Amino acid sequence: MSFRYRMLLPLVALFLAVVGYPLVNSFYLSLTDYKITDRANLSVVGGRQYVDALTDQGFWGAFGNTAVFVLVAVTVELVVGLALALALQRQRRLRNLTRGLLLAPMFVTPIAVGLLFRFLLNSQLGVVPAVLGSLGVSYDFFGSGKALLTIALIDAWQWTPFMVLLLLAGLESLPSAPFEAARVDGASAWYTFRRVTLPMLRPVVAVAVLIRGLDALKVFEYVYATTRGGPGTETQTLQYYVYQTGIQFFRMGEASAMGYLVLAVVLVAVIVLFLRIDRQRAA
Amino acid sequence: MKATTPRSGTRRVATVVTALAATVALGAGCVGGGGQAPEETSTKGAVSKDTKGTVRLLMEGVPDSDIVKELVPEFTKEYPGIKVEIQTLTYDQIRDKLVASFQAPKPTYDLVVVDNPWMYDFAKAGFLEPLEGRVDNTDGYAYDDFAEPLRSINEVDGHTYGVPFYNYALGLVYRKDLFAAEGIEPPKTLTELQAAAAKLTTAKRAGIAMQPQRGYKVFEEWGNFLFAEGGRIHDNSGNVTLDTPEGRKALSAYIAMYEKSAPKNSLNWAFDEAQRAVSSDKAAMMVSYNWMLPALNKKGSGKFAGEFGLAPFPGGHQVLGSWSWSIPANSATSDASWAFVSWLTSKQGEKQRVLAGGAPVRTSVLSDAEVREQGGAEYYDTVRELLENSSPLSEGANGEEMIQAVGTELNSAVAGKKSPAAALKAADDEAKKIRDE
């Protein structure tokens, strides 16, 4: 074996142990009716768990909730993130301080953020309902029809800085010539933003949305810390549903099948998006 | 920006695919080995005082566990060779830790506490050691002295898999001063409860702090309403019976009371929030665990300490919860574990624990003069009443899942997403399906 292949061996070994084994094992489990509390009667059931998951209303409900969550969270993060990035680009003084402060939420662990907001928004102890109350406004952040939006906004609080980071880097790497030309031609700020900045920034926006979208799909901690999937099943997201099925209800086989279904959907989305991005870049 | 070649594009896709596969696979769950332990009944009763060993014990981080910790030095005086190491974790963490330890070739814990919805599944899975041999052969243990509803939770297929540790029977906690001011007595029926809650509701104070949070809490609270209407969660054969006229009436009464007399925006409230509301004069009543009363009335615990009373829930039949001591089938020191449990849950050990503030499980301790002198005879009489007439939320297989499923439907009804009839029909269907799995 040549030297360069031998150099690859540690990576391959690590990859097989950390990625390969769980991947293969969970696929095997997804083909069985494995239940943690009933391991003696394990039988291979083929694709039944997949059919069960695909015909399970709870799974599709969780799918829908997750899709709404990702859509709302990533849209808010993109819009606010872009506005902040444009503002920061123009900032002249104390740039590093502002950027440092702005990035702080990203470095807090999500479960802590979930707990933080659980108390901030608590109707008895929370500062937010207290302030709203003094203005005569009564709003139940975790009430029916509002809880999913609240969780999406918690995500936006934590991850908008990430969007800012990527978009700001993108903005600062744009060539200055098109902007100077627009200025010379007398284009308004809005026109310049719409017709010059946005088209040139599009590849960065696409990557930023993709990364944030994939990350937001994994939402679990905020749900766990605040609503536990309620009211009803309104905030039951995919990861929470898989956690409940596998860990809380012991049905590991079914949870593995659901995990693989999510993987399939995500892979298709990622491949399609990446191909499109690559095509746009090449064009 | 530089255009990428198709080759590098493919490589990038491959990278992302691999990374994603790794991420999701890790999330999809990997399960380790470990063997199913054989089910063995030890007939060893009283354990010799010179037994040696370390008992590693996992408990929930609650005041009752602190009381047990305080009693360990007393135990060690009698059994100098046995060391008891107690680890405490939050409720959410302990079950996962227990399941992992039960399956490991070398367990992490030698003695555990088991919540009642887990008992059946753990016993059926062969995770726990049957204890009837030890119970029968331990002189003076008087197993019949434990309250019957608590004992029956630990009986699975004719074996005893646990001995009661402390009880979670629910009762009505109310402010005596507010009741006296309005000239009302603790309610005996649901109608009286609704009327009392409505009468005590003012602009600044809710009549009753309710706990409609999805899952356990709403099911626990509504269960009392169901019992008050004459319904039952399980029939005599253990089948789920939720979708009944009594069930629908109970749920409608629950929702009506929530809308009329509970604090605003409390749809997601659980134990903590309700407790805080009652102790800070924001609510006049709550449905809570009987052992909350001494804590609420403890001098210095709040402005209204001493003003709280405990009554059986209207109708007199309440939802029961319990924690029990169990020895894992793979325990490394099962004899030493039994030495500790039998010492702590003996009549004398129970008295010491209750005097230190623990929730009683033995009938004898409820009539003990010293205990009554310290905690108040009236309180212990009510606790006896609660314990004698109570039933758990779950009996049989998949308790946790059944409770979550029913609790989700009930919460949907309280949130106004489903009618009581539709929610109960769905809850009943799901609970039956879960039981049969």
**CA–CA dist A119, A113 (Å, integer):** 10
CB-nearest partner of A230 from B16, B25, B268? B268
Partners of B159 in the β-ladder: B156
DSSP A65-105: HHHHHHHHHHHHHHHHHHHHHHHHHH--SSHHHHHHHHHGG
* Beta bridge partners of residue B155, listed in sequence order: B160
Does pTM top 0.90 for this prediction? no
Confidence of residue B161 (pLDDT cuts 50, 70, 90): very high
Window 108-137 of B: residues touching A by CB (8 A cutoff) are: 121-122, 124-127
Does A30 contact chain B (CB < 8 Å)?
yes
Angle at B303 between CA B298 and CA B305, to 5 degrees: 25
For residue B15, pLDDT beyond 50:
no
DSSP for residue B283: B
Contacts A48 to B, Cβ<8 Å = none
Q: How far apart, in Å, are the Cα atoms of A144 and each of B208, B274, B314, B321?
A: 21, 19, 29, 29
Give yes or no for B22 touching A (CB within 8 A). Answer: yes
Which of B13, B215, B418 is the closest to A271 by Cβ?
B13
A49/A260 Cα distance (integer angstroms)? 11
DSSP 8-state symbol, B396: S
Best residue in B5, B7, B23, B31 to probe A by mutation, most A CBs within 10 Å? B31
CB contact under 8 A, B27 and A242: yes
Task: Summarize the confidence of residues B36-47 as an average pLDDT.
Answer: 65
β-strand partners of B173 = B286, B310
Alpha-carbon distance A5 to nearest alpha carbon in chain B (angstroms): 18
Q: What band does B33 get if pLDDT is binned at 50, 70 and 90? A: very low
Angle between helix A110-120 and helix A147-172 axes, rounded to 10 deg: 130
Residue of A nearest to B398 (CA): A249
Instruction: Please state whether beta strands B53-60 and B111-115 pair in parallel, antiparallel, or not at all (unpaired).
Output: parallel
Closest CA to A251 of A42, A47, A24, A23: A42
| Out of B31, B125, B408, closest to residue A233 by CB | B408
**Res B172: pLDDT:** 97
Q: Do residues B320 and B152 touch, judged by C-beta distance below 8 A?
A: no
Q: Which pair of tokens denotes residue B124? A: 């059926």
Set of chain B residues whose Cβ sits within 8 Å of the Cβ of A248: 400-401, 404
Bridge partners (DSSP) listed for residue B172: B287, B311
* SS3 at position B107: coil
The mean-pLDDT minimum among A72-81, A145-154, B19-28, B321-330 falls in B19-28
Contact B30 A22 (CB under 8 A): yes
Task: Name the token pair of A27.
Answer: 């696929």
The answer on pLDDT for B88 being more than 90 is: yes
B282 touches chain A (CB under 8 A): yes
Q: Is the pLDDT of residue B34 over 90?
A: no
Strand B308-311, strand B159-160: pairing: unpaired
Q: Say which of B16, B17, B415 has its CB closest to residue A231.
A: B415
Q: How many CB atoms lie within 10 A of CB B376?
A: 15
Question: What is the model's pLDDT at position B325?
Answer: 98
Does residue B7 have a pLDDT over 70? no
Asked if A29 and B215 come within 8 Å (Cβ–Cβ), the reply is no
- Read out DSSP for A144-167? TTTHHHHHHHHHHHHHHHHHHHHH
Q: Phi/psi at B167 (nearest 5 deg)?
A: -105, 155
CA distances from B263 to A12, A139, B16, B205 (A): 59, 13, 49, 8
Residue of A nearest to B209 (CA): A124
By the CB < 8 Å criterion, does B430 face chain A? no
Distance in angstroms (rounded) separating the CA atoms of residues B171 and B312: 5
Cis ω for the linkage preceding A231 (within 30 of 0):
yes
**pLDDT value at B8 more than 50:** no
Distance of CA A227 to the CA centre of its chain: 18
* pLDDT, mean of residues B236-260: 95
Residue of A nearest to B124 (CA): A37
CA atoms of A67 and B188, how far apart (whole Å)? 48
Nearest to B214 among A232, A242, A249 (CB): A232
Question: Nearest-CA residue of chain A relative to B128?
Answer: A37
Please give the residue that has the higher pLDDT: either B64 or B35: B64
pLDDT band at B237 (very low <50, low <70, confident <90, very high): confident
Residue found under tokens 């949870």: A255
Per-residue pLDDT tens digits of chain A, which is 283 residues long: 789 899 999 999 999 999 999 999 999 999 999 998 887 788 899 999 999 999 999 999 999 999 999 999 999 999 999 999 999 998 888 888 988 899 999 999 999 999 999 999 988 788 999 999 999 998 999 988 999 999 999 999 999 999 999 999 999 999 999 999 999 999 999 999 999 999 999 989 988 998 999 999 999 999 999 988 989 899 999 999 999 999 999 999 999 999 999 999 888 888 888 888 778 777 6
Closest chain A C-alpha to B33 CA, distance in angstroms: 11
CB-based contact (8 Å) between A139 and chain B?
yes
Tallying the residues shown for chain A, one arrives at 283
Angle between helical axes of B347-355 and B63-78 (0-180°, round to 10): 130
Residues 217-256 of A with CB under 8 A from B: 218, 226-234, 239, 242, 244, 246-250, 252, 255-256
| pLDDT-based confidence at residue B39 (cuts at 50, 70, 90) | low
Residue of A nearest to B430 (CA): A58
Note the pLDDT tens digit of each residue in B193-204.
Answer: 999 999 999 999
> What is the SS3 assignment for B323?
strand
**A29 and chain B in contact, CB less than 8 A:** yes
A81 half-sphere exposure, CB direction, 13 A CA radius: 29
Residues of A in contact with B99 (CB under 8 A): 36, 250
Amino acid at position B25, single letter: A
Question: How does the average pLDDT of chain B come out, rounded?
Answer: 89
Q: Does B18 touch chain A (CB under 8 A)?
A: yes
Look at chain B and count its residues: 437
Largest CA distance in chain A: 78
Kindly report, residue by residue over B275-294, the tens digit of the pLDDT: 999 999 999 999 999 999 98
- Give how far B115 is from chain A: nearest CA, Å: 14
pLDDT at B436 over 90: no
Q: If contacts are CB pairs under 8 Å, which of residues 206-225 in chain B contact chain A?
A: 213-215
Is the confidence at residue B30, as pLDDT, over 90? no
Q: Angle B240-B243-B249 (CA atoms, 0-180°, nearest 5)? A: 125
Query: Is A11 an 8 Å CB contact of chain B?
Result: no
At residue B182, the 3 state secondary structure works out as: helix
